[in-house]
Every structure is written in structure tokens, then in C-alpha cells.
Chain A
Amino acid sequence: AQKITQTQPGMFVQEKEAVTLDCTYDTSDQSYGLFWYKQPSSGEMIFLIYQGSYDEQNATEGRYSLNFQKARKSANLVISASQLGDSAMYFCAMREANTGNQFYFGTGTSLTVIP
């Protein structure tokens, strides 16, 4: 079974608007971490934001916030005030403690910001 599911292969957003990228995960572990990465066309994977399974508050990093709904096993990324430079692939990832902290990645969502 897929550990990380990203159901939106492509998304479009108007510049300065907010956008939500979906991510659901599958784990039976109580201790895990959720990560979002951005991959521009240059190839580099850039770490954006982290949410721990025991964190009670949603993580925020500048214009990025993570909408963590533990019971639904979802960890959606919200980008506020989109900029043209936000156009990239976005990957959700999970790290489980019971599998030696191996990272599992989703298939990604391609975001295009329209001027």
C-alpha cells in the first residue's frame, strides 16, 4: 500500500492567492514525522516544513503552513500569497520511527502560479 498519497498531479493558482496541496499518509506507528519539499525544475529538493505526530499545533514557516489532521491522516500544505517563484513540484514525505526512520515520498504535485 502507498505510504504517502498525493492525489493532485497538477494545480494552478493565481498569483497572490492561497493554494492547498493535499497529502494523506498511511501508518500504524504512533511516532512519525511529516515533511514537505519543493523541487524546482533545476532538480534540487528544498525542505519547506515539518510536522511531528505529537505536535498539537499546525506547523508554520513563513508563507507555508501545514494543515495537520491526525485522525484523518492528512497533512495538507497551504501556501499563502502565491508568488511566481512557487511554481515547482511539491512532495509530501513521511518518516516512521518503526522502520528505522526511513523516508517515504509521494508522487508529487506540480504547482503552476499564473500571473
Chain B
Amino acid sequence: ETGVTQTPRHLVMGMTNKKSLKCEQHLGHNAMYWYKQSAKKPLELMFVYSLEERVENNSVPSRFSPECPNSSHLFLHLHTLQPEDSALYLCASSRDRVSGNQPQHFGDGTRLSIL
């Protein structure tokens, strides 16, 4: 039990489909993050939310659309994805954005495959 739950674990979709990834944290944290993990590359930070407000968007294409309805839930809405978007998408949370000694806690990830 990690405290951060991601669903689904695996997702296969066509390029014209619309789907959403869900993340829920049970740790009482105020910051949540989406990362993309591709083979042999460092984790790429996509979005950061602090107290439900988006504070960072690292030049992510608009076909990825995040939503944070409250501090416990984070969604990543997917639309018209490309084959290069196939990757492991990891959600993480931390107590806040400013405490430098606080680690991020990660979910198990959603392995996304685009056909």
C-alpha cells in the first residue's frame, strides 16, 4: 500500500480515443505531480499542482490536459495521442512544494500504449 493509487495500471488506446488517468493520494499532501517515464530517459516532469492550483506546466503538448478537483485527486485527460506518447505515467505527491527535505511519494504508474 503506497498511499498513492493510480488507475488504470495498463491502458491501450488508439490515436483518436479519449481516456483519462486517475491518481488519488491518501497521505494528506498538498502537492501532486504527473511524470512521464520513457525507456532510458530521465523522468520528465509534466505538471505540478499545489493546493489544487497548477503551478507548473513543462511545455507539455495540449493533447495532455490535467485536472485537480481537490488536493487528493489528480487526473490526466488524454486526447489524440501519438505513438511517442507510449510510456509509463507516474503520479506523485509531496507534503508541499517548498519543503526541500520532503520526498515525493509515487504511485505504481499507468503503462500507456498508443496503437
Chain A interface (Cβ < 8 Å from any Cβ of B): 4, 31-33, 35, 37, 42-47, 50, 52, 91, 95, 97, 100-108
Contact = CB atoms under 8 A, between A and B. Distances in A.
Contacts of A103: 33, 43, 45, 104
Given A44-B106, A104-B42, A33 B100 contact: yes
B88 A43 contact: yes
9 contacts: A31-B100, A37-B106, A44-B107, A46-B2, A50-B101, A52-B100, A95-B100, A101-B100, A107-B41
Interface of B: 2, 9, 33, 40-43, 45, 48, 55-56, 88, 90, 92, 97-101, 103-109, 111
A37 B105 CA distance: 10
Contacts of A101: 97-100
Given A4-B42, A45-B92, A105-B42, A97 B100 contact: yes
Contact of A105 (B43, B55, B108): B43
Q: Looking at A42, A100, A106, which has the most chain B CB atoms within 10 Å of its CB?
A: A100
A50 B107 CA distance: 19
A45 B41 contact: no
A89 to B, nearest CB: 10
Nearest to B90: A45
Contacts of A104: 42
A24 to B, nearest CB: 14
B106 A45 contact: yes
Contacts of A95: 100
B41 A32 contact: no
A38 B53 CA distance: 29
Contacts of B9: 43
Given A47-B103, A91-B43, A104-B42, 5 more contacts: A35-B103, A100-B97, A100-B98, A101-B98, A102-B48
Contacts of B56: 100, 102
A102 B103 contact: no
B113 to A, nearest CB: 14
